Chains A and B, each alone.
Chain A
Amino acid sequence: MNKPLPTTHPRLATGASRHLAMRASLATLGLIALLCLIGPLASGHPYDQVYRDYVLVRPSLFAHPDATETREALEGIARRMRVRVEALRQDGEVVHLAFSADRPIDTRALRAFERSDVFGPARIVETSDKGRRLSVDVPAKRTVFLFGTDTNGRDLFTRTLIAGRISLAVGLLASFLALTIGVAYGAVAGYAGGRIDALMMRIVEIVYALPFIFFVIVLVMVFGRHFVLIFIAIGAVEWLDMARIVRGQALSIKQRDFVAAAEALGASAPAILWRHVIPNAAGPIAAFLAVLVPRVILLESFVSFLGLGVQEPLTSWGVLVADGARNIQGSIHLLIFPALFLGATLGALQSLGNAWHGSPGAGHH
């Protein structure tokens, strides 16, 4: 047959759904990125602040403390102050309290209220019975833990978003690193061809024989555990696929007549690589990038999950999921929220890559 069957038509049928998938993924990614960027500023909780009174709080839209939390916190403070709670009346934000003790109450002990996560500074309303009875007004803080708190009493919402920043940053930076190395290496190997190509690709094959998690772990072990080193380590292994793809492209682009024409014009090898080979490999490179970014994010969470990645109090989705997995009984929210964010990001990136590649069945280029 002198002309391939029209392949545009099957694509037309799925074009609409592809566009929809593409837009949905882009919207999801944009939303997650935006949340991670500005969310931590707006959440009102520093990512590393420990709320000792709110350990493993369940996710809720309502502000803490609730009645039981108020009472429990109060009882804790009273015990430490060695006083009895005589009366408790909550009036909106303010809690009216009356204490009694066998000995005069040391009002300095009231600072315990300030130090707690539940109340603000106490104001003495009245002292009686030679200081043995004390009535105070204490404002209750209003804190919201949208996603609950972790085992250390840190706000999971903030931590999830901060983790997102790290995961996304590692994903982008490591992908960029892999892109740079891979494109340069692959283009040179493919364009040079012959023995240089054989040698360069043999090196790739050898590094390939090590599953990348092992390579990353060895690298992390060698260079230590540091945020920057993680993405360098990941980028340093993930360029292999990129190099292979670009090399394959370069090999075929090299055969194209426009490269021969450029050589005949006397263009230098770097100029040919830069002007002809790399731009014409851009399509497959971009398509693979859409696969690479989620893979790198996943790899980072793998490494972090194993405790070899980002260190406390900084965190990434992998670390959070690992935490969640450890506390799965009783505190499932610790797993659900980070996993949801991670899954949504990976899914959106993946389907973006898919939409790029073309839908199944229309997969011939």
Chain B
Amino acid sequence: MDAAAKPLLRVRDLRVSYGPASVVKGVSFTLRRGETAAIAGESGSGKTQTVLAALGLLPRQAVTTGLVIFEDTELLALSRRRLDALLGRRIAMVFQEPMSSLDPLFTVGAQIRAILRLKAGLSRRAAKARAKELLDLAGISEPGRRVHSYPHELSGGQRQRVAIAMAIACNPDLLIADEPTTALDVTVAARILELLAKLKQIFGMAMIFISHDLGLVRRIADSVHVMREGEIVEAGSAADVAANPRHEYTRMMLAAMPRAREHVRMETPVLLRAQNIGVRFSLRGGLLSGAREVKAVDGVSLCLGQGRTLGLVGESGSGKSTLARALLKLVPASGMLNFGGRDLTRLDRAAMRPLRRSMQLVSQDPYGSLSPLMRIGDIVTEGLRVHEPAMSRSAREARAALALEEVLLDPRLRFRFPHELSGGQRQRVAIARAMILKPRLVVLDEPTSALDRAVQIGILALLEDLQEAHSLTYVFISHDLAVIRAVADEIAVMKDGRIIEQGPAREIVERPHAPYTRALIAAALQTGET
């Protein structure tokens, strides 16, 4: 254990600045051989900048100072050539975006072989064989066929496996994984984490794991360094930090979702009934080329009572957002749709217009859901301009102020522009825009996914209060089962355009039937809970 006791990597007082802006302010940490250290922090906390700076990968404008000692070598003082000799061989890196971190113009086999030949010094033939072995090791099925694939032909999880295969190609001592699972769905992410843990065992690597998700980090890291605004605010063993977070920021990152809804609601009259809803997209709408059809939503039926919340859970690409839009008749869909006793199936755009005010949409991205060039006041009252065109400007302003107050925002914000608001504020504006028309049904498409946990909890509380006050009916869509469990009366699990399991919330969470639901629950609830 002598070798293990000696630190593999020591970072001392690392600082990075771009001109006057300093993004990393004196970061120090030590990594032992075989240890997994996590750097956790929210976006913009400087965690990625820290490792890129340590490896000399920052653009030329960045000024880096401090000490980065790998074994006995000071990395920052090395020449480009000597540093390059270490990179790839002894230190390897896996990036967040598996789509863009692979070259789209070369087959994955060619990219792995290039590393094997140029860094490991293998012959052409040896590299070819080894590339397949590495893909196999990274858990890619049919590696012999996959070496000829281009990155765009692979799924996100497969791409990340390729990136991992590249990283372990030269059997490195240190693997740096920068948010390797953030862009992936939870079930895929869970398998990637298992893979990383397995490979770490096999190769005896040390690992630096960068993540914004402290719950996730806790599961795989030995030690945790929590970063905020370029500084490490808290460090310690993973279990310690998770159990007794000392810093307020850490506590906020660990903040848990409220447990499932306590009170059981009455059965209420049906507000929304959908039968056999189907949405097809034709890929490539060229005039002559044969269009391929994709069933985004395939025969979905559901039924929702007044004042209740349906939680729709599924991973990206499962068709849940498309279903949401189909329920609001925003995309052409087949099947039967009934809202408040009225058959919507045959209504066209103009006939739908008067009904629109009773059914509203709040969408995921608080950055994208507000038109960046409009004042908040104009955004909030856009619905009034459509449905009450006779209303005077001053009356609209007054309504805007009221609507903002209802979502607990300062009414004076209506003179501002979206970019001046925080993410949580923006989401409240989006909610106000929907509420101003006094709708009966609100479809919430991942309303909290882009927000930090603490902000999420606030938004969920607001939504619940609004539901109580106006007897609203919600369709709440999320990939995050923890959120769904907190808000939903009923849960429907979606996969590949179909609902595979549906029922009362508690029953689904506690006694899932479908294996997929079980995997989802295992992946999701293991992390978010204390």
Cβ–Cβ < 8 Å partners of B474 in chain A: none
A256 near B: Cβ within 8 Å? yes
Instruction: For the complex, give the distance between the alpha carbons of A12 and B61 in Å.
Output: 10
Partner of A260, one of B52, B361, B373: B361
B356 touches A256 (CB 8 A): no
B179 near A: Cβ within 8 Å? yes
The 8 A CB mask of A195-212 against B (1 = contact, 0 = none) is 101110010000000000
Least distance between A222 CB and chain B CB atoms (Å): 29
Cβ–Cβ < 8 Å partners of B178 in chain A: 1-2
Dominant secondary structure at the A interface: helix
Known: A257-B363, A257-B369, A258-B370. Is A6-B386 also a contact (CB below 8 A)? no
Q: Contacting chain A: which of B7-15, B18-26, B192-200, B396-404?
A: B18-26
A264 touches B328 (CB 8 A): yes
Partner of A9, one of B47, B61, B382: B61
A10 near B: Cβ within 8 Å? yes
A265 touches B21 (CB 8 A): no
Known: A5-B58, A266-B356. Is A271-B363 also a contact (CB below 8 A)? no
Tell me the chain A residues, 1-46 only, with Cβ under 8 Å from chain B. 1-3, 5-6, 9-10, 12-13
Partner of B356, one of A1, A10, A265: A265
B19 touches A12 (CB 8 A): yes
B386 touches A265 (CB 8 A): yes
Instruction: For the complex, give the distance between the alpha carbons of A257 and B325 in Å.
Output: 11
B1 near A: Cβ within 8 Å? no
Tell me the chain A residues, 262-299 only, with Cβ under 8 Å from chain B. 262-268, 271, 275-276, 279-280, 282
Taking CB as reference atom, which chain A residue is nearest B210? Answer: A2
A194 near B: Cβ within 8 Å? yes
Least distance between B237 CB and chain A CB atoms (Å): 24
Tell me the chain B residues, 145-182 only, with Cβ under 8 Å from chain A. 178-179, 182
A6 touches B359 (CB 8 A): no
Least distance between B433 CB and chain A CB atoms (Å): 7
The 8 A CB mask of A335-358 against B (1 = contact, 0 = none) is 000000000000000000000000
A1 touches B21 (CB 8 A): no
16 pairs, A vs B, C-beta closer than 8 Å:
A1-B95, A2-B182, A9-B18, A10-B59, A13-B61, A198-B286, A258-B369, A260-B325, A261-B361, A261-B382, A265-B383, A266-B353, A275-B382, A279-B373, A280-B371, A280-B373
Q: Which 7 pairs of residues, A with B, have the shortest CB-CB distance?
A: A266-B356, A257-B369, A264-B361, A9-B18, A257-B363, A265-B383, A257-B368
Beyond the given pairs A3-B44, A266-B383, 17 more chain A to chain B contacts, judged by CB atoms under 8 angstroms and listed by A's residue number, are A1-B97, A2-B43, A5-B58, A257-B363, A257-B364, A257-B368, A258-B371, A261-B363, A261-B369, A262-B382, A264-B434, A266-B352, A266-B353, A267-B382, A267-B386, A268-B386, A282-B373
